[in-house]
A and B are shown apart, each in its own frame.
Chain A
Amino acid sequence: MSDREQLIQQLLKDLDARTTGAIRFLAGHTSRRSFLGKVGMFMAGMGAFPLLPVLREANAQGVTPRTAVNGVADIVEMGDPQECEYWRYCGMSGTLCTCCGGSNTQCPAGSQTATVAWVGTCHNPADGRDYLISYNDCCGKSSCGSCGCSRGEGDKPVYFPSKSNSILWCFGSTSHAYHCTLALVIGHGDSNGMR
């Protein structure tokens, strides 16, 4: 099975696991008519963008860590994750969670991980390979404010949301208050074609 197929399988598993929570959030904050409208739009959107590279965060229960699933279990690391020049941050725009009590894969205590994210493809200088990076916002607290980083490589306007960092990516969180941003490696960029 190719990396790309593995990635899509993982995406589908994640969708199953996380969609319930996202739907609960939407249903709890909108009228029934509006909620049904959203579901309709979402389904239409899925048809329009079958390969929309928006990825949902893995459920903590019963899911193999994605770095292993996507064939990137042993990433050779180089650079300081608290510096904007760190290789995973090529598409970053926001505050680094590594400076706020979190890491590149875990939100700081008391914040919530957004379940939808924008993506970028970054080059790892240590192994010379490109990796697909998911930038998930951590939300529900006021902005951390430390280690601002805005590189935005590959950034697009908001009508192309999967590649736009100008959106408040707190979907799936109970609050839209932005705290900081993760940088998760979710696949090899040079083999899955999702740039």
Chain B
Amino acid sequence: MLQRKLLVLGLLMSSGAANAQWDSIVGSVTSIGEPTERWVSIRGGNTAYLVDVDEGEVKGTLPLSRFSPAISSHASAGKIYTYGSFYKRDVYGDLENVVITFDIESATPTGEIPLPVLPAGIGHSGMIGLIDESFLGIWNITPAMSVSLVDIRNDQFVREIATPGCAAVYPLGRGFMMPCGDGTIQYIALGPNGEEASRSRSPAFFDVMEDPVYDYAVPTANGWMFVSLEGLVYEATMNGSDVVISEGWTINPESNGTADLNGVERVNDDNWRISGRQPFAYSPQANLMMTVMHDGGGQEMFEKPGTEVWGFSTITKNRGYRIKMEGDQTVTSVQLTPGDDPLLLLMTSSGLQVHDASTGRKIKDINVSGGLIQNLF
């Protein structure tokens, strides 16, 4: 009887061994899958990390050049665009400037479009913009300022448009906005083939020497949000061919010596100022705005890391909460995911943090470091 049991046991064990699923020694390659509204791109080094912030995982990476500050997502078409400058010997030798098209699902480059003009090698998401799902606009500085237009319907460089004194590409309709050194916002409308149809400027609403707006901007429902270094928030929209600037509101309202409804004197936070490489974010659906904040200093702090993030209701223009970084942590970038229930994303000195945007409560850390956070949708 014992012998029979041992025989059966031996047969079972040998059967299991024969069916064991060992890994292939050559491995295999995954595909990324379909991105959702909760996917973002994180630029770190010469790489764009595609991160699902719901799952808290890096889903894939895109290889960039050392001169690729940002991507431009066309996720509905399964594509991501970027541009890069490549020297034959990495940092010297013959130069190629190209737009690169990536297929998102396979995270591989699928096309290149040569650029005859040197694009800005550093910066943020405003350096490249997808215009009306037809053109890519790429900001150049040589140091003359211009915008290169690439027709993505036929993958052709179209033309260079001179934009003296104005920077970045913020798409709106079939055209784009850009802040200018004379204190205005310029809008350039494009024709069907990328030709310049018209250009117009807002009235001057800031003084570049006194309180300039960031060259970084975020989209609103009908235009773009610009914020000055002293914390004045503006929206730029179009009314026909006119660029309209909303009345500014401040993230630092005067509260010195005043009391709240219950007679409690408010804490003086006048020394706090907006800062960071990606200093603010806005959700038009949730009416929330976030700012990276730094305590002390002057306007020269405008790109420095912050130690707090403030959350505002854009309906009341009131601050709803403050998030304090832990210990000596700092924060450089803030982003809100799309949709009615956005997540708040912070790039800190310790990696990416995900927070509930309505409460500010921290949900998770994601093990990815870098700088610019861009939504794929």
Contacts and interface: CB of A to CB of B under 8 A. Distances in A.
A45 B141 CA distance: 12
A159 B303 contact: no
A174 B92 contact: yes
A45 B164 contact: yes
Nearest to B124: A166
Nearest to A159: B167
Contacts of B141: 158, 161, 167
A161 B208 CA distance: 11
Interface stretch (A32-40, A59-67, A79-87, A125-133): A32-40
A175 B92 contact: yes
B166 A168 contact: no
B140 to A, nearest CB: 9
Contact of A45 (B144, B178, B302): B144
Interface residues of A, number: 39
A50 to B, nearest CB: 13
A28 B170 CA distance: 30
Interface string B193-233: 00000000000000010001111000000000000000000
A38 B300 contact: no
Given A34-B160, A161-B143, A171-B143, A177 B118 contact: no
Contacts of B91: 140-142, 175, 177
Contacts, number: 112
Contacts of B116: 30-31, 34
Interface string B58-92: 00000000110000000000000000010100111
Contacts of B128: none
Interface string A142-154: 1000000011111
Specify the main secondary structure of chain A where it touches its partner.
Answer: loop
Contacts of B160: 34, 37
A176 interface: yes
Contacts of A34: 116-117, 160
Contacts of B123: 158, 166
Interface of B: 66-67, 85, 87, 90-93, 95, 116-118, 120-123, 141-146, 160, 162, 164-168, 178-181, 208, 212-215, 298-300, 302-304
Given A152-B304, A159-B167, A177-B92, 7 more contacts: A29-B118, A41-B146, A49-B165, A158-B141, A161-B141, A168-B67, A168-B121
